[in-house]
Amino acid sequence: MRQESVRTTAPRFLKEIEVMPVEEKQVLTMRGINKSFPGVKALQNVDFTLNKGEIHALMGENGAGKSTLIKVLTGVYSKDAGTICLDGKGEVQIHSPQDAQRLGISTVYQEITLCPNLTVAENMFIGRGEGRLVDWKSINADTEKLLKKLDIPAKATQQLANCSIAVQQMVAIARAVDMDCKVLILDEPTSSLDEQEVEKLFGLMRDLKAMGVGIIFVTHFLDQVYEVCDKITVLRDGQLVGEYEIKDLPRVQLVAKMLGKEMDDLSDIKGENAAYAGKDADEKVFEASGLQSNAGIKPFDFYIQKGEVNGFTGLLGSGRSECVRSIFGADRVIGGHVKVHGKEVKISKPLDAMKNGIAYLPEDRKVDGIIGDLSVRDNIILALQVLTGFFKPFSKAKANAFAEEYIKKLNIKTASADTPIKSLSGGNQQKVILARWLLMHPEYLILDEPTRGIDVGTKVDIQKLVLELASEGMSVTFISSETDEMLRTCSRLVVMRDRKVVGELSGKDLTQNKIMSTIAGGE
């Protein structure tokens, strides 16, 4: 059957791709925004202003109100009070994400929301065909032009699933901007990207800025803010701290404003807790020899002493997470031997590890950590309940006592222990998972990316807690993609490259330069 040749509208972006001079103009003003939930004032009289052709960072700790402000702007939440004006044309009412999109407000989230089974062109066009037959030859040609103009390394006919995460992010951004976008919200777009991919994304953001798009950039990476942004708005505890030109706000001051206290240096936290000094400090709590799993890591040897904080470091994909997953039995172990306190044991599944006093906070809290519909209390008691047995459930009073103890101990911000964990900010979700394992009183705690995607203040809290636990005799393996964070917490690092251990560093060799040279030079 002959396809009807319906010429759909070419991407608007192709008509506007030429860089034009942009006069500073307010494209978005939010004034006196208030939003409350039961027991929580999430936003209190918050103002926010975005200019045309500006990249504006929205900063604050987890729970500061960033996500709530974005959800008010995009119609996910209705505001309790305040006004939103767009493009200097007066107040607008936004009651749904569809309203926001029609008004030219587009959002690209950390999790890609496109269809991986469709092609790049189909993802660009989906939802805009209005039920008509589509001239895919023209759509593919228009998409190719757009990809070329934006320097996105993909083909129109390429399946999106075959593109890197960075390219998928760029396709999502191109689609968002093409839909007559005036305000583009990028919510943690770089958290899963490597340095080269981040630079590529920043290039696209700068191109959009030159074309007059106003960009709200939500991130926890301070370096990235200072590399690509023009202004910063800081929120704290649901209130506006201030709006600043990037050149007028040094990093130390930014951190101080986010935390609400002066903080000259984040790096020197080791001195606050003395090293573990027990008579058994030299005892090896856990040892592995020739350990290997079905995740593709080469056989490796490893040990950790009582009260020690060590870590695995290496580039993305080096195998550091796979190593600790094999230690915990989260991946199928296919070789090697394991000892706990010098006695050989078999760990073939997580329950085996838990019974041997080993706890593991996984890299991806949303997939492997939280159970979103369960309460904070139920998430906290989960591991201990597994160890005790589900046929011996804790009483409500005992479960509440456990939860309240750790909500207080870790300063978890939640309306109550009954609050569904999915309602909490990312940093507080992470604290709940940490509470789950601390309630088990493990001898050996493995933390894989415990501070990814959370605010500076919570990062420091977790780092200090790790050192405090170690000073009391707990052994901790700490993994982070941020090298400086590893250096602040660990006394010994196992260096990895291409899923193989290529070195071990401690003492005076524990420097960023030495880590990089070891990764680059191998053994």
Q: What is the predicted pLDDT for the residue at 424?
A: 86
Q: What is the predicted pLDDT for the residue at 505?
A: 94
Q: What is the predicted pLDDT for the residue at 7?
A: 39
| Contact in structure between 90 and 26 (CB atoms under 8 Å) | no
Residues 6+ positions from 304 with CB-CB distance below 8 Å: 284, 285, 286, 310, 444, 475, 477
Quote the DSSP letter at residue 119: B
Q: What is the predicted pLDDT for the residue at 265?
A: 44
Quote the DSSP letter at residue 4: P
Pairing status of strand 309-314 against strand 475-479:
parallel
DSSP-derived secondary structure for 312-343: EEESTTSSHHHHHHHHHTSS-EEEEEEEETTE
Residues 6+ positions from 93 with CB-CB distance below 8 Å: 99
Q: Could you tell me the domains of the chain? A: 26-264 (3.40.50.300), 284-520 (3.40.50.300)
* Strands in 52-170 per DSSP E: 55-59, 81-86, 105-108
The residue assigned the tokens 């704290």 is 236
Instruction: Return the closest-CA partner of residue 122 out of 8, 4, 5, 3.
Output: 8
Neighbours of 189 (CB within 10 A): 25
SS3 226: helix
Q: What is the predicted pLDDT for the residue at 18?
A: 43
CA distances from 404 to 55, 86, 130, 377 (A): 41, 44, 53, 8
Q: What is the predicted pLDDT for the residue at 132?
A: 59
**pLDDT tens track, the chain, 523 positions:** 434 333 344 444 444 434 444 445 899 999 999 999 887 889 999 999 999 999 999 998 767 899 899 999 999 999 999 999 998 778 999 999 999 988 999 888 766 677 888 898 888 877 665 555 677 888 888 888 878 777 788 888 899 888 877 788 888 888 877 667 899 999 888 876 777 778 888 988 998 899 899 999 998 777 889 999 999 999 998 999 999 999 999 877 887 788 675 544 444 555 555 678 788 889 999 999 999 999 888 999 999 999 999 999 887 678 899 999 999 999 999 999 999 999 999 999 999 999 999 999 988 766 777 888 889 999 999 989 888 887 888 888 999 999 999 898 888 888 889 999 988 887 788 889 889 999 999 999 999 988 876 777 778 888 888 999 999 999 999 998 777 788 889 999 999 887 889 999 999 999 888 887 888 764 4
What is d(CA 431, CA 353) in angstroms, rounded to the nearest whole number? Answer: 21
Q: Tell me the H-state helices in 135-185.
A: 136-149, 165-178
What is d(CA 73, CA 174) in angstroms, rounded to the nearest whole number? Answer: 20
| Contact in structure between 304 and 328 (CB atoms under 8 Å) | no
Q: Is the pTM of this model over 0.85?
A: no
What is d(CA 189, CA 217) in angstroms, rounded to the nearest whole number? Answer: 8
- CA 381, 378, 354, 474 dihedral sign is negative
Q: Burial, 514: exposed, middle or buried (Cβ in 10 Å; 0-12, 13-18, 19+)?
A: middle
